Structure 1
Amino acid sequence: MAAVPASLAGSFKGSFAYYTIKDRLPQILTKVIDTLHRHKNEFFEEHGEKGIEAEKNTISLLSKLRNELQTDKPLVPLDDKLPDTLLWNQYLEYQQNLLDGNGQPSWFQSPWLYVECYMYRRIHEALAQNPPIDDYDVFKEVKVQSFFESHQAIIALCTYLRELLKNIEDLDEKQLQEDFLKLLQVSLWGNKCDLSISAGEDNSQKANPLKSLDDLKPFILVDDMESIWSLLINCKKRRTSEDITRIDIVLDNAGYELITDLVLADFLLSSKLATEVHFHGKCIPCCLSAIGSL
């Protein structure tokens, strides 16, 4: 059996991981710090001097975090006593054990996906430690802006679904398959709007997403759409009144990407390709990127 390759990390210069840790994550942290600074007056109006003090302390922690990242400092345990703190620290200890005494996990030497998630968790920690602004979503502005700038694409997609559902019971198997594959790809490519990938810059979906599927298909790295279709249609054909076909969708962000997932879920239930759809959201506000394949 071939050895498992090393996890992609920022130490691989020229890789997406290297670009992420060197450029994207510091840019995101800088925007977060700027957002907090711009809302200083709002914090004062709502919370008085306590709000200002909390804003200053949070910015101080985030500036320290940015410096740790840019200088490849060791990753440190979380210290906020939230429900998931122990799990995060256990995983960090696991990463330390992998090094077997040869140093400590650092920003550029650790698995990229872990590092990116860890950064968002540290942002949450900085806020959690500074009430009364501990529940402030530093990403809300950019998420709302991206959502509304995607409204034409949302209208086009929802209009397509509405027309499709009018005759959903009359679709033959071939047509049902064609529509399923379309909406599955739309759900995948909704991730192109991810604000983490664009480091918080405008990345909204402005065109009709259904019209770009043929051009985007060559960029799907792993394509198991036909297998997914076969599984679902066979389950539907064999299903009894007591059987359940459950689909689980791991959500990305709460903008255009969420609309594409909701449209896919509506189609799955309306076409009876699934009897249940379960959504799994994030426990904290973030702009975490997702790399998808079908």
Structure 2
Amino acid sequence: MSPSAAVILGSAPESFPYSVLAERHPAIIGQVREAFPYGPEQHRALDALLAGCTEGVIEPLPDGAWGEWGIDDHVGQSWFDVPWLWSESYFYRRLLDAVGYFGDGPWRGIDPFRPSKLAELDSQETDQELAALDELASRTAEEQGAALLHGSLWGNRADLGFRLSDGEAERRDAVPDLVADDSDRLWSLLDGTGTLCLIADNAGRELIPDLLLLAHLLEHGRIERAVLHVKPYPYYVSDATTADVVDALRRLVRAPGRAAEYGRRLWDAMADGRLSVRAHAFSCAPLPYADMPDDLRAEIGGAALTVLKGDLNYRRLVGDRWWAPTTSFAEVTAYFPGPVAALRTLKSDVITGLDDRTEAALVEAEGQRWRTSGTHALIQVRP
């Protein structure tokens, strides 16, 4: 369908995008500055980025980067006056430049977000979530699959037995946590044939449930092969890279109980090709998936199902626009080359595919906060 909703900008004071640009990004610069013993060069570059991202304009990137992604159209504009998706992505690219990630010096390839990712993996909360796998082993394959799907959906908000003890809770809630649920349709597409593409979101405690879900689908013959798409370099604080996949697998393998069995099955699946990792450059593009290049379109088009995880991927899937919440999810994703599913907790304003009753209940109970609070989620599928 032709876009009929305005692109989201960060220029409106007191809006959620404005707060990200004006408050969250400066805070992230401070966190990165403290995470490593950077030298004077990096500190000067971080100072310049701090000033630029709040008061400056879009500037060219080193070596002409992002020419194919529209940077020439935005150079000289305020960060607040370009599409929010674009300016957010540009911030993280500039942050990596500031700390020397792409340079020739000693900081080349050093992930500025790695300390926080590893801290999540080594936390007591992760221990507790992995221990839940032992209890889950007594459930049927269908119940295990449902729990692991919800674990992947909610990430670090849920243990792996999420809601199995009260499966009717969602139906009773006037304002459900799960605002759209196409999980039955999702399972119907996993019929044991073909490849599942999973486009990952965050590393750490949110990547582990994604890997556990893939292990379950492979073990029980729901799919023949899985391709896990991650970022080719650090992005959006905690987005998963290949190094994060390796860290998560190591964490599983060395864990006690059932978690280690999952880890070993995933390790073996990597070795025999049933599970592979892909890090396409477009994964870090400041653009919607409607603009994906031909090679990625062909790869995804050959999958039995592509699952996109998380809020950023949802924005890129449907377009980062002020859609009416009842806009058809199927229509805005009609361009996507093959069956597609979105698993997402709501952390930004973009939403499609709600029914009138659900939208009205959310607005009555919470105003517009439900869009960004992270307390609601959705499973949406377009076959």
1 CA distance for matches of 2:6 and 2:227?
Answer: 33
The 1:67–1:221 alpha-carbon spacing in structure 2 relative to 1, beyond 3 Å, is farther
Alignment match, 2:69: 91
User: What is the rounded CA distance, in whole Å, between the counterparts of 2:3 and 2:226 in structure 1?
Assistant: 36
In the other structure, the counterpart of 1:118 is 90
Correspondence for 2:122 among 133, 148, 152: 148
Following the alignment from structure 2 to structure 1, what is the Cα–Cα distance between the partners of residues 180 and 221? 26
**CA 1:154–1:25 in 2, change beyond 3 Å: closer, same or farther?**
same
How big is the shift at 1:95?
4.2
- Mapped partners of 1:249, 1:135: distance in 2: 25
260 and 162 in structure 1: CA distance in 2 versus 1, 3 angstrom threshold: same
User: Counting helix residues as a fraction of each chain, which structure ranks higher?
Assistant: 1
From 43, 67, 72, the counterpart of 2:51: 67
Q: Which residue in 2 is equivalent to 1:208?
A: 159
Given candidates 146, 151, 176, the residue that maps to 1:181 is 146
Instruction: Specify the alignment match of 1:106 in structure 2.
Output: 78
Partner SS, residue 87 of structure 2: helix
Query: Aligned ranges for residues 1-294 of structure 1 at < 5 Å?
Result: 3-36=3-36, 39=37, 55-71=39-55, 73-79=56-62, 81=63, 86=65, 88-93=66-71, 95-96=73-74, 104-126=76-98, 127=100, 128-129=102-103, 131-149=105-123, 150-160=125-135, 162-163=137-138, 168=141, 176=142, 178-190=143-155, 193=156, 208-211=159-162, 214=169, 218-232=176-190, 235-236=191-192, 244-286=193-235, 287-288=237-238, 290-291=310-311, 292=344, 293-294=378-379
The CA deviation at 1:267 is: 0.9
Cα gap change, 1:130 to 1:163, in 2 (>3 Å): farther
Amino acid at match of 1:16: F
- Report how many residues are paired: 233
Which one has a larger percent strand, Structure 1 or Structure 2? Answer: 2
Deviation at 1:109, TM superposition (A): 1.7
Residue in 1 that maps onto 2:266: none
Structure 1 pair 140/3, CA: closer, same or farther in 2 (3 Å)? closer
How many Å separate the matches in 1 of 2:180 and 2:86? 22
CA contact (8 A) 1:187 1:260 kept: yes
1:73-118 per-residue CA deviation (whole Å, 9 max, x = no partner) reads 2212210x4xxx64x232233644xxxxxx8443212222222222
Structure 2 Cα separation of the partners of residues 28 and 154 of structure 1 = 27
Amino acid at match of 1:231: L
Q: Distance in 2 between matches of 1:155 and 1:139?
A: 23
AA partner of residue 17 (structure 1): P
Distance 2:133 2:46 in 1: 39
The structural deviation recorded for 1:28 is: 0.5
Specify every segment of 5 or more residues in structure 2 that has no aligned partner in the other structure, as ranges: 240-309, 312-343, 345-377
Larger radius of gyration: 1
| Pair 1:74–1:59, CA change in 2 (3 A) | same
**Identity percentage over the alignment?**
28
Contact 2:203 2:238 in 1 (8 A): no
Partner SS for 2:227: strand
Say which SS state the counterpart of residue 279 (structure 1) adopts.
Answer: strand
When residues 9 and 133 of structure 1 are mapped into structure 2, their CA distance, relative to the original with a 3 A threshold, is same
| Cα 1:60/1:20, change in 2 over 3 Å | same
Counterpart CA distance in 1 for 2:17 and 2:59 is 20
Does the 8 Å contact 2:147/2:162 carry over to 1? no
Runs of 4+ off more than 4 Å = 160-164, 212-217
Q: Is residue 154–residue 259 contact of structure 1 (8 Å, CA) maintained in 2?
A: no
Structure 1 unpaired stretches of 5+: 41-54, 97-102, 169-175, 194-204, 237-243
TM (normalized to structure 2)?
0.54
Shift in CA distance, 189/278, structure 1 to aligned 2, threshold 3 Å: same
- Quote the Cα distance in structure 2 between the aligned partners of 1:136 and 1:3: 39
Q: Output the CA distance in 2 between the equivalents of 1:28 and 1:220.
A: 30
Contact 1:161/1:263 (<8 A) preserved = no
**What is the identity, as a one-letter code, of the residue corresponding to 1:22?**
A
